[in-house]
Amino acid sequence: MTAAPPPIAGTSPLVSTVHGVVRGALEQGVAVFRGIPYAAAPVGPRRFRAPEPPERWDGVREAVTFGPTAPQRPYSPPLDELLPDPEVPGDDCLNLNVWTPSPARAGLPVLVWIHGGSLLHGSSAVELYDGAAFARDGVVLVSVNYRLGIEGFGVFPDAPANRGLLDQLAALEWVRQNIAAFGGDPRQVTVCGESAGAISIAALLAAPRSQGLFRRAVLQSGAPAALSPEAGRGTTELIAKRLGVAATAEALAAVAPAALLAAQTEVTGGGTPLTGGNSFQIVVDGDLLPHDPAEALREGAAVEIDLLMGTNTEEYRLWFVPSGLTEHLSRFTLRLALLKFKVPGATARTYRANRPGATPGELLGALATDLLLRVPLNRLADARSGSTGRTFLYEFGWRTPVQQLGACHALEIGFVFDTLDRPDTVALTGENAPQELADAMHAAWVRFAATGDPGWPSWDASRPVMVFGPGAPAVVHAPRNDELRGWAPYREERP
């Protein structure tokens, strides 16, 4: 780690943005600005519309507390105890936060964090995402709120699609206009996200409008994915039907936010990112996203962008263990799932042979993790061979003792942010998580933001993957390649 920056004079740092002056706070040698609006409140005539710039303000705006969070409901039990989700009331939910070593610095690398939560949950106010460690190590950290659920990703005939993505773009445009005033370099921006945040970033990589807004990207436990507008409209129609109104932006804008959230929760409850269910998805709208992101990226979009991406070894356990699926899923249900997902019999047998004693639920989880995450990320890495931008892959394998969750989804975030001492992190990691692993992983993200090189070989035919735990981090070439080769398009590559 680098030495802490020199103290900032005074206790209330001031910065002039294009919309007005903000006053932050000095916290342990780091200047922090919270709740800065990057777009106008998406209410009234702006509801279900593309984001618009905020109005300028006179005087000094206090920026010491987190701004309002996007309308949402907490995770259902038992995930609510594992994934705390604070609520900050108010309409101005399109806001962001900045942690910087000092606004007086210049040319610092910038990392923009886009949170996950299945496009239904989450905010930049989650304690886990505190950016102090990045600022301590010379990186300006920006974390962003964006519209969620039907407000951000409902599909209507009379409103733009992908409004949550448009919000993220507006935040990145704010960064380009303003980050130099906070000590950052607008030409050295890395956009980073986990789960739905990573899926969003994959879409931004494929969106022509994002060109020039960032130089590097990090995808944590999320792969490129999108639906056609017709396929993506189903959840919107179910919510409208439950409310007894037309599935249009005009009709749903007249519904009280609390009633709309209640209907949304009823329609989307019960599913998971791995088992499916009614959900919100990014759509190929022909405007922001002219093409499917996975296809666009494999065919050469964003080839100039440095890319760091990876997965956790047991992603599935966050959903399967608390729900009891690991123990109670039957062999018959497993067979039905294999048929539904068109898993080749030889592939299933390889996974079973590599996991003696695994329950049907554990086998399904391992297969689903790879089908939805590891395989598409490997395919993308392979397709980027020879690109101007380098590609790096990692795997997070440290297993938490909490509730037998293992190396589950979202576990790596506290290590990346170096926030192992925070209650939000401890909820997943338990006490005494290995600080040396956080030191290594956090340092890799800092190096990538600063130089585009996290510290291990870039992707080539040997398929190097940096494995973070268990034990000391180490590069492994083509891990579990026998399983990877069981999926298309790798099956035809067998010798």
pLDDT digits (tens, 9 = 90+) for 421-461: 999 999 999 999 999 999 999 999 999 999 999 999 999 99
- Count the residues in the chain: 495
108: nearest Cα among 201, 181, 174, 177: 181
Stretch (H or E) spanning 258: helix 257-268
233: nearest Cα among 341, 158, 145: 158
Contact 282, 226 (CB under 8 A): yes
Asked, for residue 146, whether it belongs to a domain, the answer is yes
What range defines the domain where residue 44 resides? 14-323+371-482
In terms of Cβ atoms closer than 10 Å to its own Cβ (0-12, 13-18, 19+), residue 11 is exposed
The pLDDT, as a whole number, for residue 271 is 72
Total domains, the chain: 1
At a CB cut-off of 8 Å and minimum separation 6, what does 9 contact? Answer: none
The pLDDT, as a whole number, for residue 494 is 39
Asked, for residue 268, whether it belongs to a domain, the answer is yes
Q: Where are the beta strands (DSSP E) in 87-170?
A: 95-100, 108-114, 140-144
143: nearest Cα among 100, 184, 112: 112
The pLDDT, as a whole number, for residue 269 is 86
Residue 181 CA to residue 184 CA, distance in Å, equals 7
C-alpha distances in angstroms, 471 versus 27, 80, 396, 434? 33, 30, 11, 9
Contact 442, 416 (CB under 8 A): yes
Asked, for residue 489, whether it belongs to a domain, the answer is no
Neighbours of 336 (CB within 10 A): 11
Contact 484, 378 (CB under 8 A): yes
At a CB cut-off of 8 Å and minimum separation 6, what does 117 contact? Answer: 72, 83, 85, 148, 195, 196
At a CB cut-off of 8 Å and minimum separation 6, what does 488 contact? Answer: none
Contact 39, 92 (CB under 8 A): no
Q: State the pTM of this model.
A: 0.95
Asked, for residue 2, whether it belongs to a domain, the answer is no
Asked, for residue 123, whether it belongs to a domain, the answer is yes
Asked, for residue 338, whether it belongs to a domain, the answer is no
pLDDT digits (tens, 9 = 90+) for 258-275: 999 999 999 998 777 777
Q: Where are the beta strands (DSSP E) in 12-160?
A: 14-17, 20-23, 25-27, 30-37, 60-62, 95-100, 108-114, 140-144
The pLDDT, as a whole number, for residue 10 is 52
Contact 142, 96 (CB under 8 A): yes
Report mean pLDDT in 10-residue bins for the chain, 495 residues: 40 94 96 98 96 97 98 91 93 98 97 98 97 98 98 97 98 98 98 98 98 98 97 96 97 94 93 79 97 96 98 97 93 94 95 97 96 97 94 98 97 98 95 97 98 98 97 97 90 46
Residues annotated as catalytic are: 195, 315, 409
Asked, for residue 378, whether it belongs to a domain, the answer is yes
Instruction: Give the CATH number, domain containing residue 273.
Output: 3.40.50.1820
- Tokens 């249900």 correspond to 333
42: nearest Cα among 121, 152, 201, 144: 152
Sign of CA dihedral 130, 441, 297, 305: positive
Q: At what angle do helices 360-369 and 345-354 cross, to 10 degrees?
A: 110
Asked, for residue 332, whether it belongs to a domain, the answer is no
